[in-house]
């Protein structure tokens, strides 16, 4: 197939290669490139985030090719990314993965973004025994299916819940929150949201009466009206507002939250809160003191040399812009795959799968190490960092303490 054969083809040629997108089936000694396939939601509901992941992939491929390619058994091989738009649709993500494997003859796969898309697409990779490394699927349900070719660079949503509740518990024990504290718990009706809910509920249940879940409600992804559920939150008189939401739902719900006159001592939208897009669309005054638990922050550059190097490289490539966690996780997923290929010393799926399973890589992620523990289904267990939006428009890391740049506080505006 040539690049002109499909309108959906977004071929990123990151090395000088022949006109045909499909590599020749040659002996490894005659190879000149490694073809890696991926899809991302470049249109549809997740298009903005898909574009961010694309930037992370592009940077990782650029860096490898600028140094001559991957060292595979003593020979330098260029890496080429074959990328399609999966349109934020599960069926499309699955069918395009099948196309990449069977028609385009890619050697390996990098993952798409969002729990639902990764969950569906990774099944295709598993059925065809193709190593699949992703930075876009966090729900632990993805990794509980006994798959051997699946590797995830996002820590679980349950760990996010636990991290948030640990910080909240510190505030309560310091007398800054009432005991018991009443929680409003809202979660998207998907495995991502259900896992978030389970994490909060489990922590509250083991707290000895320190927390009461007064509102426990689900909502549909990409909803437009949250007035009914926010009305229940207002009527319950809760102290803590905890939501699991994707970025578009966070922006929509927070706008309606402000309009409803709500205010909580602690308000969090899970992994969302500090995004530039939210600040721009809502205004910094309307996101003050929102707490977010993220898989990565550019602020880690202050303590992590690899994170610092990555941030500098990203700014150099993308006109001085600062990366968010989306780009960083795409970049790190690609870097993990590249490392495993070099360690395997061959473009061999089984050998690379084995190296990914045993990988222990210095990383820009929190904790500084990337590995895919097999007892967790190949999902990393890196710690989260908590950030809190400040009145001046910054969002410093407030937890854990070893990387914190500021002390977080319950919202002083809320009684």
Residue 181, helix vs strand vs coil: strand
Q: What is the mean pLDDT of each run of 10 residues along the chain (415 residues)?
A: 40 37 47 97 95 98 98 97 98 98 98 96 98 96 97 94 96 97 96 94 97 98 95 98 94 97 97 92 96 94 96 98 96 98 98 98 95 98 95 95 92 91
Q: Quick check: 140 and 379 in contact, CB under 8 A?
A: yes
Cis peptide upstream of residue 198 (ω within 30 degrees of 0):
no
Concatenate the DSSP letters of all residues of 38-60 into one string: EEE--SSTTHHHHHHHHHHHHHH
Q: Rounded CA gap, 343 and 346, in Å?
A: 8
pLDDT in the model for residue 415: 77
pLDDT in the model for residue 6: 40
Kindly list the distances between the CA atom of residue 365 and the CA atoms of 114, 183, 300, 408, in Å, as whole numbers in the listed order: 19, 30, 8, 21
Q: Quick check: 202 and 194 in contact, CB under 8 A?
A: no
Domain boundaries, the chain: 3-155+303-376, 157-294+385-399
Q: Quick check: 162 and 199 in contact, CB under 8 A?
A: yes
Edge-to-edge strand list for the sheet holding 240-244: 211-219, 181-188, 240-244, 266-268, 290-294, 385-388, 397-399
**325-357 pLDDT per residue, tens:** 999 999 999 999 999 999 999 999 999 999 999
The token pair that represents 270 in the structure block: 């899970």
Find, among 414, 396, 376, the residue nearest to 156 by Cα.
376
Task: Answer yes or no: same fold for 3-155+303-376 and 157-294+385-399.
Answer: yes
Find, among 343, 396, 336, the residue nearest to 364 by Cα.
336
Concatenate the DSSP letters of all residues of 69-124 into one string: SEEETTEEEEEEEEEEE-TT-HHHHHHHHHHHHHTS--SEEE--SSHHHHHHHHHH
pLDDT in the model for residue 28: 52
Q: In which element (H, E) is residue 189 found? A: none
Beta strands 360-362 and 385-388, pairing class: unpaired
Superfamily of domain 157-294+385-399: Response regulator (3.40.50.2300)
Length of the chain: 415
> Which residues in 299-314 are b (16+ Cβ under 10 Å) and which e?
bbbeebebbeebbebb
Whole-prediction pTM: 0.84
> Which residues in 181-207 are b (16+ Cβ under 10 Å) and which e?
bbbbbbbbebbbbbbbbebbbebbeeb
Q: Quick check: 300 and 281 in contact, CB under 8 A?
A: no
pLDDT in the model for residue 30: 82
pLDDT in the model for residue 91: 98
CATH architecture of the domain 3-155+303-376 equals: 3-Layer(aba) Sandwich (3.40)
pLDDT in the model for residue 14: 37
Q: Quick check: 326 and 296 in contact, CB under 8 A?
A: no
% the chain with pLDDT above 70: 93
Concatenate the DSSP letters of all residues of 257-318 into one string: HHHTT---SEEEBTTBSS-HHHHHHH-GGGSTTEEEEES--GGGGGT-HHHHHHHHHHHHHT
Kindly list the distances between the CA atom of residue 19 and the CA atoms of 15, 16, 23, 78, 99, in Å, as whole numbers in the listed order: 12, 9, 10, 15, 19
């Amino acid at each position: 197939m040539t690049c002109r054969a499909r309108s959906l083809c977004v071929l990123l040629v990151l090395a000088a290669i022949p006109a045909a997108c499909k590599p020749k089936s040659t002996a490894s000694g005659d190879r000149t490139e490694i073809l890696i396939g991926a899809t991302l939601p470049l249109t549809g509901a997740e298009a903005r985030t898909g574009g961010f992941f694309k930037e992370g992939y592009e940077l990782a491929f650029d860096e490898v090719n600028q140094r001559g390619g991957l060292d595979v058994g003593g020979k330098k091989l260029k890496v080429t990314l074959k990328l399609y738009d999966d349109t934020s649709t599960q069926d499309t993500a699955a069918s395009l993965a099948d196309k990449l494997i069977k028609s385009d003859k890619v050697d390996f796969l990098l993952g798409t973004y969002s729990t639902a898309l990764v969950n569906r697409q990774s099944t295709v990779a598993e059925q065809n025994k193709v190593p699949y490394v992703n930075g876009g699927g966090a729900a632990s349900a993805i990794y509980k299916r006994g798959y051997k070719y699946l590797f995830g660079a996002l820590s679980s949503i349950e760990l996010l819940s636990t991290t948030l509740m640990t910080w909240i518990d510190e505030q309560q024990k310091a007398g800054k929150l009432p005991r018991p504290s009443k929680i409003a718990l809202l979660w998207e009706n998907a495995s991502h949201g259900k896992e978030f809910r389970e994490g909060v509920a489990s922590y509250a249940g083991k707290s000895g009466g320190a927390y009461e879940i007064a509102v426990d409600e689900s909502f549909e992804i990409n909803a437009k009206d949250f007035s009914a559920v926010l009305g229940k939150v207002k009527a319950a008189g809760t102290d803590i507002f905890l939501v699991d939401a994707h970025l578009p739902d966070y922006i929509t719900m927070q706008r309606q939250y402000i309009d409803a006159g709500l205010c909580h001592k602690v308000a969090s939208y899970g992994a969302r809160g500090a995004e530039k897009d939210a600040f721009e669309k809502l205004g910094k005054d309307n996101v003050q003191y929102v707490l977010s638990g993220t898989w990565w922050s550019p602020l880690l550059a202050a303590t992590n040399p690899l994170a610092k190097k990555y941030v500098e490289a990203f700014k150099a490539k993308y006109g001085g812009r600062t990366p968010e966690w989306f780009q960083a996780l795409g970049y790190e997923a690609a870097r993990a795959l590249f490392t495993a290929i070099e360690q395997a010393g061959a473009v061999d799926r089984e050998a690379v799968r084995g190296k990914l399973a045993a990988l222990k890589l210095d990383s820009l992620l929190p904790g500084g190490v990337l590995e895919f523990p097999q007892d967790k289904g190949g999902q990393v267990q890196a710690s989260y960092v908590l950030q809190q939006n400040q009145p001046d428009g910054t969002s410093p890391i407030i937890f854990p303490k070893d990387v914190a740049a500021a002390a977080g506080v319950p919202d002083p505006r809320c009684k």
